[in-house]
Structure 1
Amino acid sequence: MHTLYPEIKPYARHELSVGDGHVLYVDESGSPDGLPVVFIHGGPGAGCDSSSRRFFDPALYRIVTFDQRGCGRSTPHASLEHNTTAHLIADMQKIREHLKIDQWVLFGGSWGSTLALAYAQTHPERVLGLLLRGIFLCRPQDFSWFYQEGASRLFPDYWQDYLAPIPQAERGDLMAAYYKRLTGTDQIAQMHAAKVWSIWEGRTATLRPNTQVVERFAEPHRALSIARIECHYFVNNAFLEPDQLVRDMSKIAHLPGVIVHGRYDVICPLDNAWAVHQAWPNSELHIVRDAGHAAAEPGIVDALVRAADNMARELLNMPPATGG
């Protein structure tokens, strides 16, 4: 089993103004002359952390990580103003240009896979390949499954806690009910709703219970950006057209891609990855038989690190690695 590469520190940090009052945190690590890869985090609203850069061999990759609008170390925190998928695609272009990168590999999981696909379909000439985990197509049925009815039947105990802040009369549209509280003026109600929303996701992210994952989602600063930004995107269908990502797969059909998806992913069920793979003959699909959604699960880590190693060697025309 492959594990994450050892901890490394960034060799450069940037605060990049992208307009509309937003300033993005960006850092670079690994080899300055290596194969450029950008880590696209999930949520939207989750931000990056020190483990984000550890999926890549630092001797081969120039690793770029950044916090999307409104989350992590980017400012203003939890802001919904001028925060759409089109804005994030434009931000990635500004980061690429600022760092003088011509083409890069996209690495994204969950919402990060959504944004990676949307970016690649908009700017295919800037993409060398894609490494995707836990595909999230942001279709109406995907939102309904996790936030209205579906996953609720697998986790009725956790679901009761998710329902608790919402009166019975408003439970016919739970995302709208949460959006009302997450954008309201009552800060106590806002933070309570944010923590409940985020903890529901953290509790269901792994195949086996993982208190560290739940605690990470429950941390107030992170929970506020996750809940507000996710709900903002999801009530707006992620600012995508119906079935846009699968419809436009022909735009990136020539690009190499690897999809890693947990068999028991409850947040983003496997049919998301299956639909993308069927529309993308040049992709590889690796179904991890004993994993859920989280990137931290051992089988997911193993598959992603292997995929990143293999893609670097292929794109750099290096011989395949030997041994395990």
Structure 2
Amino acid sequence: MQPLYPKIKPNSETFLQLGEHRVYVEESGNPDGIPVIYLHGGPGGGSSPDHRRYFNPEKYRIIIFDQRGCGQSTPHASINNNSTWDLIDDIEEIREHFAISKWLVAGGSWGTTLAIAYGIKFPQRVSAFILRGIFLGTQAEVDWLYGANGAGAIYPDHYQDFIAPLGHEINDDIVSAFNKQLFDSNEIARIASAKAWTLWETKISALHIDKTELVSVEETHDAIAMACIENHYFANKCFFEDNYLLNNIDVISHIPAFIIHGRYDMVCQIKQAWLLAKQWQNAQLQIIPKAGHSGFEQGIIDAICRAADKMADFLLTK
């Protein structure tokens, strides 16, 4: 199994003022290397220093940023002017800031949604894709993740903890029920709902959950950003019509892509990765047999790092 590359520090860190949002952006690795941007999950999850470590720092110029309202970006947890299309425009602003003509676009979970949507709008700016844990932004996927008959049927114990803050507000539309509490003036109810929302996804994201990770997820600041922004996106159907990505995949199907998905992914069902790969003529799907959804399970790490190495060899010979 190939591990993450060694820890590195950013070469530069900056904040771009994009409308009312101040967006954190960093660059690491080889300044003359292959440009790659990594798109984190959520929406609202924030970036991790370990995202740099998927890529060989001698071969890649690694760009990472915190999407609007999360991580080090401010205003914290803001949903104002925070949509899929705003984030796509932010990615273009970042590309122009670094004077990059074309780059490898990589991402995990919601980051795959954003990567594909960005590619559909700006295909001429993408040299290749590496996508882990496919989420296509459809209502069926949201219903699976938050429904009692979806992932809730696989993890009924965790699901009861998840919906506990709703009390008598429980109904078939869990996203709307949480929306009322996450944006309520009652701060105690808001924090409890944010922690429950964030913990639910974390508890079902890997085959073996590290208890220290559960403690860190409960940190109020990050939990509020994750829960409020993610709920905002899902309440607005990710800001595009259902099945938008697959309906427009022909725009980018000529661009090479590695698609990586855990066999036992309970957050994002594997059938989405299968459907995507079937319609993407220049994509290779790798199913990781002993993995769930997390980007930091050993099998997933191995697959992403190897995909990045292969893609570097390919792009350097073009």
Q: TM-score range by the shorter chain?
A: over 0.9
Q: CA deviation at 1:99?
A: 0.8
TM-score by length of structure 1 reads 0.96
Amino acid of the structure 1 residue aligned with 2:135:
F
Which digits, 9 at most, give the CA deviation of each residue in 1:251-290, with x for residues without a partner?
Answer: 0011000000000000001011011101101100000000
Residues 205 and 294 of structure 2 are in contact (CA less than 8 Å); yes or no, is this contact kept in structure 1? yes
> Quick one: which amino acid aligns to residue 168 of structure 1?
H
**Could you tell me which residue of structure 1 aligns to residue 70 of structure 2?**
71
Preserved CA contact (<8 Å) 1:55 1:301: yes
Alpha-carbon distance in 2 for matches of 1:169, 1:114: 30
- Counterpart position of 2:210: 210
Q: Deviations over 1:105-138 (max 9, x none)?
A: 0110000000000000100000000000000011
Mapped to 2, the partners of 1:206 and 1:212 lie a distance apart of 14
Which residue number corresponds to residue 10 of structure 2?
A: 10
Q: Distance in 2 between matches of 1:307 and 1:219?
A: 33
Q: Do the aligned residues in 2 keep the contact of 1:201 with 1:217 (CA within 8 Å)? A: no
TM-score normalised over the length of structure 2: 0.98
Q: Secondary structure at the match of 1:315?
A: helix
Which whole-Å CA distance do the structure 1 matches of 2:212 and 2:309 have between them?
27
Q: How does 1:54-93 map to 2 (within 5 A)?
A: 54-93=53-92
User: What is the CA deviation profile of residues 38-73 of structure 1, one whole-angstrom value per residue up to 9, with x for unaligned ones?
Assistant: 010000001112101000000000000000000000
Distance 2:171 2:257 in 1: 39
CA–CA separation in structure 1 for the residues paired with 2:216 and 2:304: 21
Q: CA deviation at 1:200?
A: 0.4
> In 2, are the aligned partners of 1:263 and 1:291 still within 8 Å (CA)?
yes
**Aligned equivalents of 1:30 and 1:224: distance in 2?**
31
What are the within-5 Å matches in structure 2 for residues 98-117 of structure 1? 98-117=97-116
Structure 1 residue runs of 4+, over 3 Å off? Answer: none
Q: What is the one-letter code of the residue matched to 2:93? A: K
- Hey, what's the Cα distance between the residues in 1 that align with 2:105 and 2:212? 27
Aligned residue for 1:154? 154
Does structure 1 retain, via aligned residues, the 8 Å contact 2:163–2:170? no
Residue 284 of structure 1 is matched in structure 2 by: 284
Query: Over aligned residues, Cα RMSD in angstroms?
Result: 1.0
CA distance in 2, matches of 1:204, 1:113: 19
Gaps of 5+ in 1: 319-324
| Distance across 2 between alignment mates of 1:257 and 1:38 | 14
Give the deviation of 1:184 after TM superposition.
1.2
Whether contact under 8 Å (1:291, 1:299) holds in the other structure is: yes
Correspondence 1:265-280 to 2 at 5 A = 265-280=265-280
Superposed displacement of residue 190, structure 1: 0.8
User: 1:192 offset after TM fit, Å?
Assistant: 0.8
CA contact (8 A) 2:161 2:196 kept: yes
Q: Which moved more, 1:43-52 or 1:168-177?
A: 168-177
Task: Summarize the alignment of residues 1-324 of structure 1 with structure 2, pairs less than 5 Å apart.
Answer: 1-19=1-19, 21-149=20-148, 150-317=150-317
- Secondary structure of the equivalent of 1:166? helix
Letter in 1 for 2:133: G
Question: Conserved in 1, the CA contact under 8 Å of 2:137 and 2:242?
Answer: no
Distance 2:127 2:162 in 1: 40
The answer as to whether partners of 2:182 and 2:190 remain within 8 angstroms in 1 is: yes
Return the letter of the residue paired with 2:272.
N
Contact 1:110 1:134 in 2 (8 A): yes
Distance of 1:213 and 1:280 partners within structure 2 = 35
SS of residue in 1 equivalent to 2:25: strand
Separation of aligned partners in 1, 2:231 and 2:200: 13
Offset at 1:175? 0.7
Distance between the aligned counterparts of 2:181 and 2:217, measured in 1? 18
